[in-house]
Amino acid sequence: MAGDLDGLGYRDKNVVVTGGASGMGEAVARILGELGAQVHIVDIQQPKVDHAGYYRCDLSDFDQVRATAATLKAIAPIHFLFPCAGLPPHIKGALYCMRVNYIGTRLLVESLLPSLADGAGIALISSDAAMGWQKNIAQSLEMLSISDPDEALAWVEADPERRLRDGYTTSKEMLVVWVAKAAVALGNERRIRFNAIGPCPTKTAFMDQSADVISQEFLDAWPYPSLGRIATAEDQAWPLVLLNSPLNGAVTGAFLYTDQGFATGVMTGAIDASFMMGSQRQQA
């Protein structure tokens, strides 16, 4: 399927994908392999797709994260990084969710920066659950200023009701704000591009794990104007792969909604979001 797309710039390049053992990350890893990349997967589970290397790592364990980044130095230069790992709060709680989705992810990316090639691309998965990130910008920037992961965790724990909320939405907002701010320095100093996508409900193992808090009735009520159905992992993987391609050289610091028009539809009143009242919003 991807054999005639060499122009995207992935052939023979070193690529790291976190969360590449399932869901959107697995789809990303598969597509990149079809595009000729040397795909290195970081995950807590053994990946099923073809890969050049596998590095077992729990993003909630900061020592493991640092050790994994040190091991990945051996494949430098890394040309593309795809942080796709993430989980909902009901698996191990809101704090654990924040620890993995934002704090551990940020630690891995920042620890890998010395191994990234100048001009590299980083593209991660946030969520359209972060569509209200602007209204929480002051608090998000306060957390963003804390680079040490243990200190960031302690800051959240000091006022969890305000700083953590459900864990998922807050962590996804943090990813968006981090991308938006860090992209400037990364671009100016090393021409590294940094972007994010914001998926809608997507049929993955993540969604299956959320079945006890996200009802089928809720999913059936969701508007799917562009596809007419719930998105698949591949529907989300392709925009991420395309976004990180060098062909998008002028795009950095972007948050691309890959949500079938949901966020902008709500913002403009084209979509009535009242069906979400009282329902869970852990969508991606």
Ordered by start, the domain boundaries in the chain are 6-202+233-259
- Looking at 103-107, 119-123, 165-169, which range is the least confident one? 165-169
Please tell me the predicted confidence (pLDDT) of residue 273.
Answer: 86
pLDDT tens sequence across 238-271:
999 999 999 999 999 999 999 999 999 999 999 9
Instruction: State whether CATH 3.40.50.300 applies to domain 6-202+233-259.
Output: no
Q: What is the pTM of this model?
A: 0.93
**At 169, is the pLDDT very low, low, confident or very high (cuts 50, 70, 90)?**
very high
DSSP the chain: --TT-GGGS-TT-EEEEETTTSHHHHHHHHHHHHTT-EEEEEESS---S--SEEEE--TT-HHHHHHHHHHHGGGPSEEEEEE-----HHHH-HHHHHIIIIIIHHHHHHHHGGGEEEEEEEEEE--GGGTTGGGGHHHHHHHHT--SHHHHHHHHHHSHHHHTTTSHHHHHHHHHHHHHHHHHHHHHHH--EEEEEEE-SEESHHHHHTTTTS-HHHHHHS--TTTSSPEEHHHHHHHHHHHHSGGGTT--S-EEEESTTHHHHHHHTSS-GGGGTTS-----
pLDDT tens sequence across 17-41:
999 999 999 999 999 999 999 999 9
Rg (CA), the chain: 18
